[in-house]
Amino acid sequence: MKIAIGSDHGGYELKEKILKFLKQKKHKVEDFGCYSKESCDYPLIGFKVAGVVSNGSADKAILICRSGVGMAIAANKLCGIRAVACYDENIARSSREHNDCNILVLAADYTAFKDAKKFITIFLTTNSEGERHQRRVRQIEEFESKLKGKKQ
């Protein structure tokens, strides 16, 4: 599985630990920054990471910022992206089962590394349940396709 990862400066330390964890699990990981604790703009990182998931260059992604909210908002601006701000194991699981989310967003200020590993493992190993849930995901995709080319 190819995984894209990115963070802002507030999520940098957690991202570095997650990178090592993913590589130990033999995942192919591409790091889109940031590369230090120097202040940076989270939307730019979020757009880059979401872009490679949206165009199919990565299967899934992980984004990290201080609250998880900003990165989720930025990522969800791209067509085909279903990013979830995740704070517990149930959200990690249901976001995949019910919503077929493709980006996990973690809150560095509220997520210990041991918990992040649990959320990531669940997110990467849980499949979509399909059926009635897939119908709803398709409704989102159909709406997105209608917006393409239209000014909002």
The residues assigned a catalytic role are 65, 98
What are the beta bridge partners of residue 5? 31, 62
CA distance 81 to 58: 12
CA distance 59 to 24: 18
Identify whether the C-beta of residue 72 lies closer than 8 Å to the C-beta of residue 105: yes
CA distance 46 to 44: 5
- DSSP string for 13-51: HHHHHHHHHHHHTT-EEEE----SSS---HHHHHHHHHH
Residue 68 DSSP SS3: coil
For 62, phi then psi, to 5°, come to: -130, 130
